[in-house]
C-alpha cells in the first residue's frame, strides 16, 4: 500500500521556488550580520572620528579620523545596511506569499501513517 502521493508539477514548482527563496533569505540574513550596530561620527579633542558601535552601551571601536577614506566607509556602511534591510523585507514578503501557496497546494501535509 502506497501511503505517499507524488507531487504534482505545480506542487514541485512551488516547493522548489520556496526552497530557493528561503536559502536566499538565509544567506541575506547572514550577510546582514555584517551591518550590525551603528556607525557614526564622534567628537574627541576637537577632531571627529568614525566610530563603529557594536552593543548598546557604547562598546565599539574607532575606525580613524574623519578623512576621505573614512567618509567612504561611512557611506558604504549605511548604503549597504539600507540595501540589505530592503532585500530582507522583500524576501520575507515573498516567503509569506509562498507559504500561502504551499498551504493552498497542501505541501505542508503529512500522511497520518508517517506522523
Residue 73 placed within a domain: yes
The x, y and z cell numbers of residue 77, run together, are: 556602511
Domain contains 69: yes
Domain assignment present for residue 45? The answer is: yes
Residues 6+ positions from 29 with CB-CB distance below 8 Å: 88
21 is a domain residue: no
Q: Give pLDDT, residue 2.
A: 59
Residue 92 has pLDDT above 60, yes or no: yes
Q: Which domain range does residue 39 map to?
A: 33-105
pLDDT at residue 1, rounded to an integer: 53
Q: Per 3-state DSSP, what percentage of the chain is helix, strand, and coil (rounded to 5)?
A: 55, 15, 25
Q: Evaluate whether residue 70 is within a structural domain.
A: yes
pLDDT digits (tens, 9 = 90+) for 35-78: 988 899 999 888 999 999 887 666 888 899 999 999 999 999 99
DSSP state of 67: S
Domain for residue 97, yes or no?
yes
pLDDT value of position 78: 95
Whole-model pTM: value is 0.76
88 vs 8, higher pLDDT = 88
What is the average pLDDT value for the chain, to the nearest integer?
87
Amino acid at each position: 500500500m502506497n501511503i505517499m502521493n507524488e507531487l504534482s508539477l505545480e506542487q514541485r514548482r512551488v516547493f522548489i521556488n520556496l526552497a530557493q527563496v528561503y536559502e536566499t533569505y538565509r544567506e541575506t540574513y547572514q550577510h546582514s550580520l555584517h551591518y550590525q550596530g551603528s556607525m557614526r561620527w564622534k567628537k574627541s579633542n576637537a577632531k571627529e572620528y568614525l566610530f563603529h558601535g557594536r552593543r548598546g552601551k557604547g562598546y565599539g571601536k574607532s575606525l580613524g579620523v574623519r578623512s576621505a577614506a573614512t567618509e567612504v566607509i561611512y557611506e558604504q556602511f549605511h548604503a549597504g545596511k539600507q540595501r540589505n534591510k530592503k532585500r530582507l523585507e522583500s524576501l520575507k514578503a515573498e516567503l509569506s506569499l509562498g507559504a500561502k501557496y504551499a498551504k493552498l497546494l497542501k505541501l505542508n501535509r503529512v500522511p497520518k501513517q508517517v506522523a
